[in-house]
Amino acid sequence: MEWKVKYQKHTKPAYSDLLDFFEPEIRALFASFDNEMQNRFKVHNKYHKFSNVHGWTYGYGRNYNCELLTVIVSSKYFEVLGVSVVNPETLNNALCEAETKYKNGFEQYCADVSAKRRENQIERSKKRVEREKAQMDELTESIDPDKLNKFKWAKKVSRNDLLKLYQSDAKGLLDEELLDEVGFTFYIRCKQAKEVRELMEKGRMLCLQCGEILQAQSYTAPVKCKCGYIYTYREYRRSCNAINMPGGRATPIFDDYMKKWLDSKTASQKMTVIDWLIHECHVTLMSGVRGRSVCVNLIEGTIKQISDLKLKLAYGS
């Protein structure tokens, strides 16, 4: 059966089908031919094409469609550059034709195609870099630096306020206004920390200006809130940790405090809750367990300053 009848357009033959198709002596000639192509001209049988005239043909070439010649298949021979190969002599003729074509600038042609490809690639990379730079410029241009990553975290309690509160209590003249302010400041800080940390786990951010919840698109992409403020997730998270927002292993203490504070009705109850929290601060401070220094999450100052304050409050052993 004729090659082009046996393997029609939609039945692309495997390489083994091609070898099987040839009579043994033609197959041997084709094997020599294939060998010469690879060794002498460094071209490979890699471009299978279908034509209505010849059926499936085999192009020998290099990368980027740099083709030296095409092999046409027939039942009694294979054809190369107009030469029908049927015996060693015609094989030699075909190889001479290939040699002539090769010497007629094939290497230069391949080099030119490769160079052109590389040039295109460089051009494409250059364009991509330019495009990304333009996008970044546009992004930063449209961002008002006064609105970018402005973190307004719920404040800590001042050491002075705590001291004044304890002093008023010691004198039997509890400053109830200050009591509410201190207790509420602790409460708001714990509450915001809880909310923010839970949102951050899901890649979200609480707008610290208007309370809107924002979804981060990536670690560094700016997210604009409808109120006009803009945050990047990475800086948001860094700031939250740097400012010692409550969290980590002491979380149960903060949760307890929030519940206890809301349950307190009288001044005496409120003072007891605050005192309980200060005691927890003291415990975690003394235990020296990292990640449990509750005091720095809630009270202004360094651990040393807060520790000194504790002594003034006549607290501890």
d(C-alpha 181, C-alpha 159), whole Å: 13
The distance of closest approach from Cβ of residue 229 to Zn ion in the complex, given in angstroms and rounded to an integer, is 5
When asked if residue 209 is in the footprint of Zn ion (CB under 5 A), the reply is yes
The residues near 235 (Cβ < 8 Å, ≥ 6 apart) are 149
When the beta carbons of 137 and 212 are compared against Zn ion, the nearer one is 212
Region of 12-20, 109-117, 162-170, 203-211 interacting with Zn ion (CB under 5 A): 203-211
d(C-alpha 188, C-alpha 171), whole Å: 28
The distance of closest approach from Cβ of residue 208 to Zn ion in the complex, given in angstroms and rounded to an integer, is 8
Region of 60-68, 118-126, 222-230, 288-296 interacting with Zn ion (CB under 5 A): 222-230
Task: Name the DSSP class of 266.
Answer: S
The distance of closest approach from Cβ of residue 217 to Zn ion in the complex, given in angstroms and rounded to an integer, is 16
Of 112, 43, 114, 111, the closest CA to residue 81 belongs to: 43
Query: Which of 163, 227, 242, 289 is close enough to bind Zn ion by CB under 5 A?
Result: 227
The distance of closest approach from Cβ of residue 234 to Zn ion in the complex, given in angstroms and rounded to an integer, is 18
The distance of closest approach from Cβ of residue 207 to Zn ion in the complex, given in angstroms and rounded to an integer, is 3
**Burial profile 104-135: b = 16 or more Cβ within 10 angstroms, e = fewer:** eebeeebeeeeeeeeeeeeeeeeeeeeeeeee
When asked if residue 271 is in the footprint of Zn ion (CB under 5 A), the reply is no
Q: Answer yes or no: are the C-beta atoms of 82 and 94 closer than 8 Å.
A: no
Query: Which of 212, 238, 242, 316 is close enough to bind Zn ion by CB under 5 A?
Result: 212
d(C-alpha 74, C-alpha 21), whole Å: 9
When asked if residue 139 is in the footprint of Zn ion (CB under 5 A), the reply is no
The distance of closest approach from Cβ of residue 119 to Zn ion in the complex, given in angstroms and rounded to an integer, is 48
The distance of closest approach from Cβ of residue 227 to Zn ion in the complex, given in angstroms and rounded to an integer, is 3
Work out the number of other CB atoms within 10 angstroms of the CB of residue 24: 7
When asked if residue 136 is in the footprint of Zn ion (CB under 5 A), the reply is no
When the beta carbons of 164 and 191 are compared against Zn ion, the nearer one is 191
When the beta carbons of 101 and 191 are compared against Zn ion, the nearer one is 191
When the beta carbons of 157 and 207 are compared against Zn ion, the nearer one is 207
When asked if residue 149 is in the footprint of Zn ion (CB under 5 A), the reply is no
**What residue has token string 């909310």?**
195
Query: Which of 98, 207, 277, 295 is close enough to bind Zn ion by CB under 5 A?
Result: 207
Q: Residue 239 corresponds to which amino acid? A: S
Q: Answer yes or no: are the C-beta atoms of 244 and 296 closer than 8 Å.
A: yes
Region of 33-41, 201-209, 231-239, 273-281 interacting with Zn ion (CB under 5 A): 201-209
When the beta carbons of 217 and 287 are compared against Zn ion, the nearer one is 217
Of 74, 83, 69, 6, the closest CA to residue 34 belongs to: 69
* DSSP codes joined into one string, 34-82: HHHHHHHH--EEEEEEEETTTEEEEEEEETTTEEEEEEEE-SS-EEETT
When the beta carbons of 113 and 199 are compared against Zn ion, the nearer one is 199
| Radius of gyration of the chain measured on its C-alpha atoms | 40
When asked if residue 210 is in the footprint of Zn ion (CB under 5 A), the reply is yes
- Name residues contacting Zn ion, limited to 152-171 (CB under 5 A): none
The distance of closest approach from Cβ of residue 313 to Zn ion in the complex, given in angstroms and rounded to an integer, is 38
Residue numbers at the binding site for Zn ion (CB under 5 A)? 207, 209-210, 212, 225, 227
